């Protein structure tokens, strides 16, 4: 629960920074620097995608914020390319409290070097931006994920690895 509280605070900060003015870029840079300094080092090396790469759209519109599809079933070794379609910013994050300890390090490493923090991709700030997650060396199971800025709007899903 502590992570979700932190995610809500981070969401409020991000949404506040989006409020604009000329100082927003400096605030974004400071937030990015602070997030990078706070991000832990991954316990493993990123595993490559050895199977199919699936696409998930990141959407925000009059009907709400969502991933399309929100729930996706893939095989170990597959990848998922998350693509921003509308209403930025978006990201992909996992709650460290619900990811099994024996998966956490590999999943974190598979998220790549540009992260907001543990198990949290960087913010995608433009329509058309994308983030690709490798599920290489990830054991079968269900892994809930969410968009940090839009978690209060219920933007979440589940990745099931077979």
DSSP string, 14-41: HHHHHT-STTHHHHHHHHHHHHHHHPPP
Q: What is the pLDDT of residue 17?
A: 43
- Domain harbouring 68, CATH code: 2.60.40.420
Q: Pick the residue with more confidence: 40 or 153?
A: 153
pLDDT digits (tens, 9 = 90+) for 65-74: 999 999 999 9
pLDDT digits (tens, 9 = 90+) for 74-104: 999 999 999 999 999 999 999 999 999 999 9
Mean pLDDT of the chain: 82
Q: Rounded distance, CA 145 to CA 137, Å?
A: 18
Residue 97 is part of which domain span? 2-161
Put simply, whether the predicted model's pTM sits higher than 0.85 gets the answer: no
pLDDT digits (tens, 9 = 90+) for 124-159: 999 999 999 999 999 999 999 999 999 999 999 999
The structural domain count of the chain equals: 1
Calculate the dihedral angle through the C-alpha atoms of 81, 97, 43, 133, rounding to the nearest 10 degrees: 0
Q: What is the pLDDT of residue 119?
A: 98
Q: Pick the residue with more confidence: 20 or 153?
A: 153
Calculate the dihedral angle through the C-alpha atoms of 110, 113, 115, 118, rounding to the nearest 10 degrees: 60
Query: What residues have CB less than 8 Å from 62, skipping those under 6 apart?
Result: none
């Amino acid at each position: 629960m502590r992570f979700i509280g932190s995610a809500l605070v981070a969401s409020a900060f991000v949404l506040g920074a989006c409020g604009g003015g000329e100082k927003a870029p400096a605030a974004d840079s400071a937030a990015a620097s602070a997030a990078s300094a706070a991000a832990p080092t991954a316990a493993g090396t990123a595993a490559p995608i050895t199977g199919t790469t699936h696409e998930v759209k990141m959407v925000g519109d009059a009907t709400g914020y969502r991933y399309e599809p929100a729930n996706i079933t893939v095989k170990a070794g597959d990848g998922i390319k998350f693509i921003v379609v509308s209403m930025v910013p978006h990201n992909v994050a996992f709650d460290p409290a619900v990811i099994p300890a024996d998966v956490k390090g590999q999943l974190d490493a598979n998220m790549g070097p540009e992260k907001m923090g543990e198990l949290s991709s960087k913010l995608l700030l433009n329509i058309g931006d994308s983030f690709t997650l490798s599920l290489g060396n990830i054991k079968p199971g269900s892994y809930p994920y969410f968009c940090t800025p839009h978690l209060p709007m219920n933007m979440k899903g589940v990745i099931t690895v077979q």
